[in-house]
């Protein structure tokens, strides 16, 4: 369940407390918002306060020692909001989080897990949206030897 952020301070993008009953465990509830948060951390879309106060956890996340879901729970109390995301991060989340959530559920095997392999599949989608373009498509490569019989 996603809560649409408003323009007021304290706007919540997602809260795993609201997801636990639906998803069955904290780990599953934290998976999708954790993937999103890991991407935000890697692009520097978190607040200076979180970056400073949770510097050790940020480094552990960036070197893939912990996952985004674990970071979300341990460093952010399970809530993805404007105390965690920078102004640019909140703006991006307001515009794209619901679509990201749908994309993650459609493109990743169920149940979505807080795995780096899952992150690697959704990060290009997020980056393309952040840069304002559609995800890269493979270029056609002419291979004449494949057409010969």
Q: Is 66 among the domain residues?
A: yes
> Would residue 5 count as lying in a domain?
no
Measured in whole angstroms, the distance separating CA 34 from the mean position of its chain's CA atoms is 6
Question: What's the pTM?
Answer: 0.84
Residue 6 maps to a domain: no
For residue 93, tell me if it sits in a domain. yes
Number of domains comprising the chain = 1
Per-residue pLDDT of the chain (149 residues; tens, 9 = 90+): 343 433 445 689 999 999 999 999 999 999 999 999 999 999 999 999 999 999 999 999 999 999 999 999 999 999 999 999 999 999 999 999 999 999 999 999 999 999 999 999 999 999 999 999 765 555 656 666 655 55
3-state SS assignment for residue 1: coil
Give the Cα separation of 99 and 28 in Å (integer): 19
In a domain, 7, yes or no: no
Number of neighbours of residue 142 by Cβ within 10 angstroms: 6
Which structural domain, as residue segments, surrounds residue 114?
A: 12-146
**Residue at 104 is within a domain:** yes
Answer yes or no: is 88 within a domain: yes
Distances (CA, A) of 11 to 6, 60, 79, 83, 134: 6, 27, 10, 9, 27
Residue 73 belongs to some domain of the structure = yes
């Amino acid at each position: 369940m996603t809560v649409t952020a408003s323009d007021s301070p304290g706007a919540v993008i997602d809260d795993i407390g609201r997801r636990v009953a639906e998803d069955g465990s904290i780990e599953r509830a934290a998976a999708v918002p954790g993937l999103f948060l890991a991407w935000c951390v890697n692009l520097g879309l978190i607040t200076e306060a979180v970056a400073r106060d949770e510097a050790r956890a940020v480094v552990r996340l960036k070197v893939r020692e912990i996952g985004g879901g674990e970071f979300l729970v341990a460093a952010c109390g399970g809530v993805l909001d404007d105390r965690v995301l920078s102004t640019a991060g909140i703006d991006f989340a307001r515009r794209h989080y619901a679509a990201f959530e749908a994309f993650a559920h459609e493109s990743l095997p169920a149940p979505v897990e807080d795995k780096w392999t899952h992150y690697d599949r959704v990060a290009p989608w997020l980056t393309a949206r952040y840069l304002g373009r559609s995800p890269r498509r493979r270029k056609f490569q002419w291979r004449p030897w494949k057409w010969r019989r």
